[in-house]
Chain A
Amino acid sequence: MAEIRNYTMNFGPQHPAAHGVLRLVLELDGETVMRADPHIGLLHRGTEKLIESKPFNQSIGFMDRLDYVSMMCNEHAYVRAIEQLLGIEAPIRAQYIRTMFDEITRIGNHMLWIGSSGLDLGAMTMFIYAFREREMTMDMYEAVSGARMHANYYRPGGVYRDLPDSVPLYKESPWTKGKNLKRKNEWREGSLLDFIEAFASDFPSKVDEYETLLTDNRIWKQRTVGIGVVSPERAQQLGFTGPMLRGSGVEWDLRKKQPYAMYHEMDFDIPVGINGDCYDRYLVRIEEMRQSAKIILQCVEWLRANPGHVMLKNFKVIPPTREEMKDDMEALIHHFKLFTEGYSVPKGEVYAAVEGPKGEFGCYVVSDGANKPFRVHMRAPGFAHLSSMGELVKGHMLADVVAIMGTLDIVFGEVDR
């Protein structure tokens, strides 16, 4: 009988289902995966070293570029770390805005996840449905910060500016006109809060639509049920957080267990899975989207009723407004110092974490008292999740590699940093 040898195959780095630049070296026995060795780092930009060379505030923009589908959550972790080192706390209105935008981000992230992992498993329509709504979360980003993705909106001591009274409208074009134009602009006529409220109230019905496409779909279930099963003990050992951990039945959510911003005021539930397979993690994420919409509505209600400041007035950390600068010498000096030198952060180290859409996004900052951080390390959820890849795919078929990669919800911006 002829000798049969295992077959080694490269998956990626230019593979559409690799969700970016992942090179996966697979050792196959027929179609069964015997060993998987992910090679990462193709998107390594040395963010942590770059941050060491810049004043604290100039690195907020780097955070958007880490996990580039959950931008504001990353900013939140970094900004919170600095705030804790400085011993300041953002005004309550800013905290509500942060809570609201964290949840908008979560919806945006899960939408990309459900769209792309649906696409990977052959559900083309899912992608188009999900991106229809994701577009609106990007519009909210645009309205509040001017950028559709890399918002750079949070600051130590608050958020950059208050919510605007208007939302950019669609203009008439050969593709958007008449009834279509009217429909698209319907929610955008009022303020940003009106837009967000209209979106969040309607969103659960959109999630129902997604569920009609996937939840009972025979093909979807065949591809995900019983695939990539992780026990709760293993999930903790492997450093899983977020939906990956909750999918295995561990009830752990930083928003509930170690609340930050205004989460302790919010009424929401944490969904958990039972079996710890890809399908359970899908159900967890679906339910999370509904809960996010619920949180957003609570924030909108509060924000409507309580106008106020969104930034501290501490000029040692937060620059004065243009107006104040024009007639106050002190303000001018503060402005100059803040934009040439930045602020110095007291000596110390801190680890601040937020519940990002993908899991725990943590930021470890060491300061030696300078205007630049001495060392910053980002704890990216995707990094821990991807490191378990070898264990998860072992013994599965080649096609399941794609399903498992989808369920990990990895973005290479944060894995490679």
Chain B
Amino acid sequence: MMSASNNLAAHLEECFAGRIEISRSANGQLAIQLPVDLWLEVAHTLRDDPRFAFSQLTDLCGVDFLGYGQSEWQTKDATHDGFSRGVEGLGPGRFDWSGRPEASEIKQRYSVVVHLLSITHNVRISVATFAADEGLPMVPSLCDVWSSANWYERETFDLFGIVFEGHPDLRRLLTDYGFIGHPFRKDFPLVGNVTVRYDEEKGRVVYEPVEITPRVLVPRVIREDSRYKVDDIDKAADEAADSLAPGAE
């Protein structure tokens, strides 16, 4: 499978040299990043070119990069006054795009990620792009290229408010009829905005503002000291443990 994906990388380089960014994810799968105006062109090539033959769109989803790389807990400096390392208002959902802290390398907010599968070559690829405008993010629809994009795009539109240009039937899919807002955006509160209950007196279901306040049980912490990276010491410890296990030879 690895050699297939190496070939693939070479073919991609040949087809779109300099126009797309090719990288690999943690499990060695190819990932490409491209500007939104190449979206449809690349999609068509990936499907129709026999060197790629990505006949299936397995998955499409949106990502909102607001708050990417933001921590709610100070990890750099220790303090003398005990439990005051919580960073106020820095977690996702606490600020909007215009008021975001300038800490992240991500310059654009909404991304669309597509996972493709080539059954002929037994290889996967993920293709990602950023929508240009933060106010009305727009990405061309892939419905005409892969039929399965239809519902995935409706879902992404519903949850992130990303508009897919040329989609035949862009309606909300998962949220309630008449729902306001796009719940998976990072500035949409986890507890939501409205609550629903049945009103005995009015004899119908009523919508009211939520009463509960969101609270953080475990703060978001970013550790960059790579303490979690598995090194040789850990591997040796695992092997030692295995050899000590009852019954192991």
Q: Given A50-B190, A236-B119, A344 and B69 touching (CB < 8 A)? A: no
How many residues of chain A have a CB within 8 Å of chain B? 72
Q: Mark A350-390, 1 if CB is under 8 A from B, else 0.
A: 11110000001010101011111011010100011011100
A314 touches B230 (CB 8 A): yes
Please pick, from A58, A312, A344, the residue contacting B221 in the complex, using a CB distance under 8 A: A344
Chain B residues within 8 Å of A395, by CB: none
Chain B residues within 8 Å of A238, by CB: 147-148
Please pick, from B59, B190, B248, the residue contacting A362 in the complex, using a CB distance under 8 A: B59
Question: Which of A80-88, A104-112, A126-134 contacts the other chain?
Answer: A80-88
Q: Given A258-B1, A258-B122, A387-B148, A237 and B56 touching (CB < 8 A)? A: yes
- Count chain A CB atoms within 10 A of each CB in B26, B146, B228, B246 and give the residue with the most: B26
Chain A residues within 8 Å of B245, by CB: 307-309
Please pick, from B26, B218, B229, the residue contacting A371 in the complex, using a CB distance under 8 A: B218
Chain B residues within 8 Å of A54, by CB: 217-218
The A-contacting residues of B in range 149-178, CB under 8 angstroms, are: 150-152, 155, 172-176
A372 touches B71 (CB 8 A): no
B31 touches A91 (CB 8 A): no
Q: Does A52 contact B (CB under 8 A)?
A: yes
Residue of B nearest to A341 (CB): B221
Q: Given A239-B146, A308-B247, A371 and B238 touching (CB < 8 A)? A: no
Q: Does B10 contact A (CB under 8 A)?
A: no
Q: CA of A371 to CA of B64 in the docked complex: distance in angstroms?
A: 18
B218 vs chain A, min Cβ distance (A): 5
Question: Which of A41-49, A135-143, A280-288 contacts the other chain?
Answer: A41-49
Q: Given A309-B241, A344-B223, A369-B222, A383 and B151 touching (CB < 8 A)? A: yes
A348 touches B220 (CB 8 A): no
Please pick, from A252, A369, A372, the residue contacting B224 in the complex, using a CB distance under 8 A: A369
- Count chain A CB atoms within 10 A of each CB in B69, B220, B247 and give the residue with the most: B220
A364 touches B220 (CB 8 A): no
B225 vs chain A, min Cβ distance (A): 9
A349 touches B31 (CB 8 A): yes
Q: Mark B211-233, 1 if CB is under 8 A from A, else 0.
A: 00000111111111011111000
Residue of B nearest to A369 (CB): B222
Q: Does A63 contact B (CB under 8 A)?
A: no
Q: How many A-B residue pairs have CB under 8 A?
A: 175
Chain B residues within 8 Å of A368, by CB: 68-69, 222
Residue of B nearest to A313 (CB): B241
Q: CA of A386 to CA of B155 in the docked complex: distance in angstroms?
A: 13
Chain A residues within 8 Å of B46, by CB: none
B220 touches A252 (CB 8 A): no
Chain B residues within 8 Å of A343, by CB: 228
Please pick, from B147, B183, B242, the residue contacting A49 in the complex, using a CB distance under 8 A: B183
Chain A residues within 8 Å of B1, by CB: 258
Chain A residues within 8 Å of B150, by CB: 387
Q: CA of A256 to CA of B190 in the docked complex: distance in angstroms?
A: 40
Q: Does B57 contact A (CB under 8 A)?
A: yes
Q: Given A250-B119, A369-B224, A387 and B229 touching (CB < 8 A)? A: no
Q: Does A316 contact B (CB under 8 A)?
A: yes
The B-contacting residues of A in range 323-346, CB under 8 angstroms, are: 340-346
A317 touches B115 (CB 8 A): no
Residue of B nearest to A365 (CB): B26
Residue of A nearest to B216 (CB): A53
Q: CA of A341 to CA of B152 in the docked complex: distance in angstroms?
A: 33
Q: Does A262 contact B (CB under 8 A)?
A: no
B227 touches A316 (CB 8 A): yes
Q: Given A344-B223, A349-B25, A236 and B228 touching (CB < 8 A)? A: no
Q: Does B98 contact A (CB under 8 A)?
A: no
B241 touches A351 (CB 8 A): no
Chain A residues within 8 Å of B68, by CB: 368, 374
- Count chain B CB atoms within 10 A of each CB in A351, A388, A391 and give the residue with the most: A351
Q: Mark A146-177, 1 if CB is under 8 A from B, else 0.
A: 00000000000000000000000000000000
A346 touches B218 (CB 8 A): no
B59 touches A364 (CB 8 A): yes
Q: Does B205 contact A (CB under 8 A)?
A: no
A370 touches B174 (CB 8 A): no
Q: Mark A90-115, 1 if CB is under 8 A from B, else 0.
A: 01000000000000000000000000
Residue of A nearest to B126 (CB): A351
Chain A residues within 8 Å of B147, by CB: 234, 237-239, 388, 391
B115 touches A362 (CB 8 A): yes
Chain B residues within 8 Å of A306, by CB: 247-248
Q: Given A237-B147, A309-B241, A342-B218, A351 and B119 touching (CB < 8 A)? A: no
Please pick, from B64, B155, B172, B222, the residue contacting A370 in the complex, using a CB distance under 8 A: B222
Please pick, from A53, A257, A349, A374, the residue contacting B122 in the complex, using a CB distance under 8 A: A257
B36 vs chain A, min Cβ distance (A): 19
Residue of A nearest to B218 (CB): A55
Q: Mark B9-37, 1 if CB is under 8 A from A, else 0.
A: 00000000000000001110101000000
For the complex of A and B, list the 9 residue pairs with the smallest distance between their C-beta atoms, beginning with the closest: A239-B148, A307-B247, A387-B151, A41-B174, A377-B61, A379-B59, A313-B241, A344-B223, A84-B27
A-B contact pairs, 29 of them (CB 8 A): A41-B174, A41-B176, A44-B174, A46-B183, A52-B92, A53-B216, A58-B218, A84-B26, A86-B228, A87-B26, A233-B55, A236-B55, A236-B56, A237-B148, A239-B57, A306-B248, A307-B248, A308-B242, A316-B234, A317-B228, A346-B229, A364-B113, A379-B59, A383-B155, A384-B58, A386-B151, A388-B147, A391-B147, A416-B174
Q: A313-B241, A344-B222, A379-B58 are in contact. List 15 more A-B contacts (CB 8 A).
A: A41-B173, A84-B26, A87-B26, A236-B119, A308-B248, A312-B238, A316-B227, A316-B234, A349-B126, A350-B27, A351-B29, A351-B126, A369-B222, A372-B218, A372-B220
